């Protein structure tokens, strides 16, 4: 079935609004596969918004009378109230949200309802509704990301000098500060916010007025409807306007990247909460217990966020597969564009809310983190750097000698700052007692004063800069 222009002929209740061409009703299975009202009713408010803009334009252009326009608006306002108070009679008989609203409008205002669809097709109607819906969600994600970034910033501000181990390959590498770690995720989520903003800018063009695929012979004003709906301009090609879904693909792609960042942070929370790490605690608000093991406190919220990236990534693949082989312009395959987007955006919305809650709730166990930061010879690089700075040794030679010192300390079962000075001197005679000034995790972190480094002084600078941005 092509989503072509609706007929303006009077329809009896129960007759398909597109049924003038057909002499029999669809097969029951055809009806079942064709109906989309169960999910596209989420576009109801956007559909009403688009219809009000369209009818206003029709009146301004002299295509319908002011009386008809006012009746249409009054009817649409009543329908909006019914939808918001959950009393609207959604029906499978009128397969999608557009026909459900139009049928209800006809019940309320009579024949004037039939004039609403002048110079419009469901093809440009649904494209407009969907863009409006995605745009609303992108705005919502930007607000949620800002709240998450504020939560991360608060934790960073509270922990500019909280020492913890930094990892590569999930092996202790060098000491860092917990505040620095929090700011790393803040930077990631800021890029996500930027991606959503970029996506919004590209999608913010109006398809309305493209009609079925070729435009319309009515003297419409597409700039009027575009401006009324908050779009930057009308889409310049009617074929592209009704068939493009790259705005949804781009939004899903940005959502997928954002969900990946949420998943990575969730993974760290799961690790940090384990008995083997105990780096952080979460309260009962964001943990659950075990049905059989009374001692357990499970980070289920983090685990569920970690899992939701699969749904979001799957939605991106699903819509890509729908669109990859479609010729211009509209094909019924595109009815399958909404459910994956709805599901993915619901998942991301929930994930952002839960992560913000967890970050606000999370408390670092500072002494445990500090102790762990000194394990596994994490200041070995500082030792090598000392050789380079103090005795002008080439770094590769310094790296080799440091490796020998680490091996000796490991053999003796001591940390680098516990190894006696005479053992150092046996390996490198130029070493002095000053070497101990760089071997503690605190001194290691404080020394990383390069821009973007983990030194508390640098973290404080970044916290100040972000406070200015987010305040």
Residue with tokens 């009308």: 234
Q: How many CA atoms lie within 13 A of 307 on its CB side?
A: 6
300 exposed, middle or buried (CB, 10 Å; 0-12, 13-18, 19+)? middle
Half-sphere exposure (Cβ direction) of 51: Cα atoms closer than 13 Å:
30
Rounded distance between C-alpha atoms, residue 17 and residue 263, angstroms? 46
Query: Which residue reads 């008995």 in tokens?
Result: 275
Q: For residue 254, which phi and psi values (nearest 5 degrees)?
A: -65, -40
Tell me if 329 sits within 8 A of 213, measured CB to CB.
yes
Please say if 290 is a catalytic residue. yes
DSSP-based three-state secondary structure for 439:
coil
Contacts with 28 (C-beta within 8 Å, 6 or more apart), sequence order: none
Output the CA–CA distances (angstroms, integers) from residue 238 to 27, 206, 212, 221, 352, in the order listed: 33, 10, 8, 14, 36
Q: Which residues contact 411 (CB under 8 A, 6 or more apart)?
A: none
CA dihedral 363, 366, 368, 370 (to 10 degrees): 140
Catalytic pick among 25, 290, 437, 457: 290
Strand partners, 165: 175
Taking the C-alpha atoms of residue 23 and residue 95, their distance in angstroms, rounded to an integer, is 18
Using alpha carbons only, how large is the chain's radius of gyration in Å?
A: 31
Indicate which residue of 169, 217, 291, 450 is catalytic.
Answer: 169
Does residue 238 contact residue 215 with C-beta atoms inside 8 Å? Answer: yes
CA dihedral 140, 144, 150, 152 (to 10 degrees): -150
CA distances from 437 to 69, 345, 432, 461 (A): 80, 51, 10, 24
Q: Which two tokens stand for residue 344?
A: 């993915």
H/E stretch holding 234 reads strand 233-234
Bridge-based pairing of strands 163-168 and 280-281 is unpaired
Residue 242, number of CB atoms within 10 A of its CB: 27
- Long-range CB pairs of 455-461, under 8 A, 24+ apart, other chains included: 455/177, 456/160, 456/161, 456/177, 456/179, 458/180, 459/156, 459/160, 459/161, 459/177, 459/179, 459/180, 459/183, 460/160
Our answer to whether residue 169 is catalytic in this structure is: yes
- Active-site residues, by number, are 169, 290
């Amino acid at each position: 079935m092509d989503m072509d222009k609706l007929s303006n002929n009077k329809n009896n209740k129960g007759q398909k609004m597109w049924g003038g061409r057909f002499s029999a009703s669809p097969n029951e299975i055809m009806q079942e596969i064709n109906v989309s009202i169960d999910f596209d009713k989420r576009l109801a408010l956007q559909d009403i918004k688009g219809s009000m803009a369209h009818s206003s334009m029709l009146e301004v252009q002299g295509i319908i009378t002011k009386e008809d326009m006012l009746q249409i608006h009054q009817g649409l306002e009543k329908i909006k109230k019914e939808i918001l108070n959950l009393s609207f009679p959604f029906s499978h008989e009128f397969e999608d949200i557009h026909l459900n609203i139009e049928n209800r409008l006809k019940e309320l205002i009579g024949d004037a309802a039939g004039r609403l669809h002048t110079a419009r097709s469901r093809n440009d109607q649904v494209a407009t509704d969907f863009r409006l819906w995605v745009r609303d969600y992108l705005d919502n994600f930007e607000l949620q990301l800002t709240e998450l970034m504020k939560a991360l910033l608060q934790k960073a501000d509270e922990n500019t000098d909280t020492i913890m181990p930094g990892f590569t390959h999930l092996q202790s590498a060098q000491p860092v500060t917990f505040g620095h770690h929090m700011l790393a995720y803040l930077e990631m989520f800021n890029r996500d916010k930027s991606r959503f903003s970029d996506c919004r800018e590209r999608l913010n063009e109006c398809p309305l007025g493209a009609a079925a695929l070729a435009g319309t012979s009515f003297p419409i004003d597409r700039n009027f409807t575009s401006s009324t709906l908050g779009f930057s301009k009308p889409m310049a090609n009617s074929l592209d306007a009704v068939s493009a879904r790259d705005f949804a693909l781009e939004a899903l792609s940005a959502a997928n990247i954002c969900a990946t960042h949420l998943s990575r942070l969730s993974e760290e929370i799961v690790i940090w909460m384990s008995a083997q790490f105990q780096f952080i605690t979460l309260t009962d608000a964001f943990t659950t217990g075990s049905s059989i093991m009374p001692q357990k406190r499970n980070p289920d919220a983090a685990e569920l966020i970690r899992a939701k990236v699969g749904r979001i990534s799957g939605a991106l693949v699903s819509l890509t597969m729908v669109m990859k082989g479609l010729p211009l312009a509209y094909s019924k395959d595109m009815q399958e564009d909404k459910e994956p987007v709805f599901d993915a955006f619901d998942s991301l919305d929930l994930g952002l809310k839960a992560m913000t809650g967890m970050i606000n709730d999370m408390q670092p166990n500072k002494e445990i983190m500090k102790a762990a930061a000194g394990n596994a010879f994490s200041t070995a690089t500082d030792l090598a750097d000392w050789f380079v700075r103090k005795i002008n040794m080439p770094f590769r030679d310094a790296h080799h000698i440091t490796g020998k010192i680490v091996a000796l300390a490991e053999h003796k079962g001591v940390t680098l700052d516990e190894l006696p000075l005479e053992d150092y001197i046996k390996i490198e005679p130029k070493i002095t007692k000053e070497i101990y000034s760089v071997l503690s995790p605190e001194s290691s972190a404080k020394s990383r004063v390069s821009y973007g480094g983990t030194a508390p002084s640098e973290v404080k600078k970044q916290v100040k800069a972000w406070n200015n941005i987010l305040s």
